Every structure is written in structure tokens, then in C-alpha cells.
Amino acid sequence: MQPSSTRDVHVMDTQPLITPIDLIREIPLTDKAKEVVLSGREQLRRILDGEDNRMLVVTGPCSIHNEQSALEYASQLVELSKQVSDTMLIVMRVYFEKPRTTVGWKGLIYDPHLNDSFDIEGGLKTARSLLLKINEMGMYAGTEFLDPIVPQYLADLITWSTIGARTTESQIHRQMASGLSMPVGFKNGTDGNAQIAVDAMLSARSPHGFIGLDTDGRTALIRTTGNPDGHLVLRGGNSGPNYHADDVADAKERLTAGGVRSQLVVDCSHGNSYKDHTKQGMAFKDVVSQRASGDADIIGCMLESNLNPGNQKLCEDLSQLEYGVSITDACIGWQETVDLLGWANDELANKRTAVAQ
């Protein structure tokens, strides 16, 4: 296309990417992975509908930046999930896109080499390959979809997804969610406002028609039926946590008044931990205790967890990065994750025994 004084003034260049269908053919969905994805989605829908009284727990790194450590975490989580399967459905947090308040590393899809080279095609291939391996282990995968094009490349490998606090109010993301094939959690806004998530749920369960991308990489009219499995995710806000019983009751009132499902998930990081990973456990125990005490509308929790606790800054010398430590938000370590899920298993099992008696 010829240069123009009115178009692409600030664009340096454009580079064609592999189409979604070509990536899917290059890294195809296996029978084993398909079975895991469909099973996980069905179990999650049963939890949302109250037909399965287990609690959803989504746990994993704030963001994936190292494939080896992600696979190590997944292999350990598979074994842990078997130990608590009577009381919890465990989904691994596998996040490849990072929304930024201003600027910063945008996630593995956009910068897989951690050096601002923006090898997006390489990032998409790494992300799809990693999701396939995780599912073939028998581990369910959850992620946040930020760019509305990305689901065409990865959605067939995702059991549960979220729309983040910065994008829940976005019409583009509500439209996208209306066509996603898995249950979708809508986070409250960064200010703690849950109403935008209620509005998003109403929008996403409705049919939409919008401009999108088909699997052949062509601009297309996308028509959707609407997604009936949207739900609220409380993640706190700038003013502090919103996981306490009074906050949960207020959120459920908003959901009921809005005519949407009252079931919700609580994210124990972000505002609910004052962005301090050492406070995630306190939030988690409070929320699990509410559930064990009879609040069946609390259907799940989220944790930011990694092999090792804390976080580190991304540096030019990648050899200096500590293995299994987040380069974005600080996470709890693996041992604390084991301890928390073990405690929750006992709490939920004891409640079930008490009810049976």
C-alpha cells in the first residue's frame, strides 16, 4: 500500500502473522486434551449451577514467562488436585497477557523472549504448545483473554477464562465473551465497583454481532448466541478488599437486582490482598470459611502462586532471573499453596460431614 499523509502516521511497519487455523493445524488439539477441556468445562458448569458442591480453586503464576517452570508447576498441581478432588476442582492459572496500567512487559504472547523483540508469532506458538502439554497432563487451564483476536488461537484449550478489571466495562470484551465456549468470570473494576461486572454479565449472555477475525485470519462478521455461564469475580479495588461477608452480601444483592446468577468467585490477590502476596492466605481462609459456613453462592477462589514466593524485576541479563519466581505480581510459594489447599480440603470436608450427620 502506498504511503499516505492521513493513514498510519505513527506505524513503523506491519508483519503478517500465522493464521489461527494454521497454528491449530501446526499444534493440533489431541484427543486427550479435548477430553480434559470438555470434562473441565462440564464440571465447572455443574458447580455454577449448584449440581456439584465442590469449590473451584484457580491457582498458578501471575503470568507465565518460563515454559519449564510452568510445566513443573503444572505437574505438581496435577498431583495435589488429586488429593483434594472430593472437595475442590483445581484449575491452573495460565496467563499469557498482562494488562498494564501504563507500560511494561505485556506477557509471553507479546514478548516471549523478554527482550522487547515482540515475536508475537513465536509467543502464540509457545502459548499453544504449553497449553496442550498442560491439558495432556490432565490439568485444566484458565486464562484472561485481553486481545479479542487471541481466543481464535487458544480458546479450544481453555477450561475457564476471565475478563479483567480494566476491560470488564469494554463493549469489545463483552461481545467477545458472548461467543466464548467456556464459562467466563468478569472482575469488578479497579475501583472495586461490582456493578460494571453485573452489566457485563447481562451483555455477554445476549446475542451479538460484531467485527472480528475468523480462523482463516480474515476480517469477518461474528454472530454469537450469548454466553450463559458468566459470573462475578470479586478482586478488591483501590480502596481495599471486598471479600468479607458484608461485601459478598452486597455483591449478591447487586447480582440479584440485575437479574443475573448470584454465584461468584473471589480473587484473593490484587486489591483483596492489598497487592501483598503474604496476605493472600488470610483472604483465602476467610472466603473458604464463609463457604464452609453455608454460603453456597461463593463457588470459588483464585490464588497467585508460583514455585517460589515473591517476585523479581525483569532485567537485561536473563541468566540472573531466579527460577520459578514471578516477573509481574508477587505470588505465594508452592509450599504455602499446598498448606492452604490442604487446610481448605479439611474445612470443606468437615462441613460436608457435619451436614450429613
Q: Which domains does the chain have, with CATH numbers?
A: 56-356 (3.20.20.70)
Answer whether residue 192 shows pLDDT above 90.
yes
Answer whether residue 71 shows pLDDT above 70.
yes
Q: What is the pLDDT of residue 16?
A: 94
CB within 8 Å of 123: residues ≥ 6 apart: 96, 107, 108, 109, 110, 111, 112
Average pLDDT over residues 193-216: 97
Could you read off the pLDDT of 114-162 as tens digits, one per residue? 999 999 999 999 999 999 999 999 999 999 999 999 999 999 999 999 9
Q: Residue type for 39, please? A: S
pTM for the whole thing?
Answer: 0.96
Average pLDDT over residues 25-53: 98
C-alpha cell at 187: 472482575
| Confidence tier at 1 by pLDDT (50, 70, 90) | low
Q: Report the chain's C-alpha Rg in angstroms.
A: 20
Q: What is the pLDDT of residue 3?
A: 75
Q: Can you tell me the distance from the alpha carbon of 70 to that of 140, in angstroms, rounded to the nearest whole number?
A: 13
What burial letters (b/e) apply to 81-101, b meaning 16+ CB within 10 Å?
beebeebbbbbbbbbbbbeee
Average per-residue pLDDT for the chain: 96
Q: Can you tell me the distance from the alpha carbon of 34 to that of 257, in angstroms, rounded to the nearest whole number?
A: 37
For residue 123, with 0-12 CB atoms within 10 Å meaning exposed, 13-18 middle and 19 or more buried, which class applies?
A: buried
